Amino acid sequence: MKRAFDIVVCASSLLILWPFLLLVVVAIRIQSPGRAIFSQVRVGKHGHPFTCYKLRTMHLGTASLPTHQVKASAVTALGEYLRRFKMDELPQLWNVLTGDMSLVGPRPCLPSQTELIAARQQLGVFELRPGITGLAQVKGVDMSDPTRLAEIDARYVRTQSMMGDLKLIWATLRGQGVGIDQVR
């Protein structure tokens, strides 16, 4: 049921939002050179890598690091706005449609985040697809505390339900957890 819900919501959202996404892509290209859609390898279900898509919010040449390790000067002016309201993650709707992600689940990490990966493996977090939003995000926990993050992700794995997912989506849409992935 979760997968069917993901497909219906993401396909509908992309059909409705494509004009907005197109405008944002053009604005990104006007503001700074380079591709507007950013792709990065992330760790997915069962620990398998996948390509995660986002709207580019940083200048070209920014190192591929966890957000909390990136300097604030790397973020473009438009990127700051997109990140603040989590609009940079809209292309991940495509990742959900392709089956790499879900609307709700643990946020996907980078392969270089070995401490977080080890903690998630130990707690069985990789049994699920990563999500666009999740329990840790809504609670305001970012990736700078890998042990705490993995524990909250594991709690989600143990307690997940359709009603719980709907509550997390609603909390995200209301702005809970918005802006937690802050650059330094």
- Could you tell me if residue 178 is inside a domain? no
Q: What is the pLDDT of residue 180?
A: 46
- Could you tell me if residue 142 is inside a domain? yes
Q: Provide the residue range defining the domain that includes 139.
A: 2-173
Radius of gyration of the chain (CA): 16
- Comparing 80 with 55, the larger pLDDT belongs to 55
* Residue 26 confidence (pLDDT) above 90: yes
What mean pLDDT is predicted for residues 68-81? Answer: 78
Tens of pLDDT, residues 151-162: 999 999 999 999
- Could you tell me if residue 180 is inside a domain? no
- Its pTM stands at 0.87
- Could you tell me if residue 72 is inside a domain? yes
Query: How many structural domains comprise the chain?
Result: 1
- Could you tell me if residue 182 is inside a domain? no
- Could you tell me if residue 179 is inside a domain? no
- Could you tell me if residue 183 is inside a domain? no
pLDDT band with cut points at 50, 70 and 90 for residue 84: confident
How far, in whole angstroms, is CA 91 from its chain's centroid? 10
Instruction: Identify which of 182, 177, 175 has the alpha carbon closest to the alpha carbon of residue 75.
Output: 182
What mean pLDDT is predicted for residues 9-19? Answer: 96
- Could you tell me if residue 162 is inside a domain? yes
The alpha helices in the chain, defined as continuous H runs, are 2-31, 77-84, 92-98, 114-123, 135-139, 146-159, 162-173
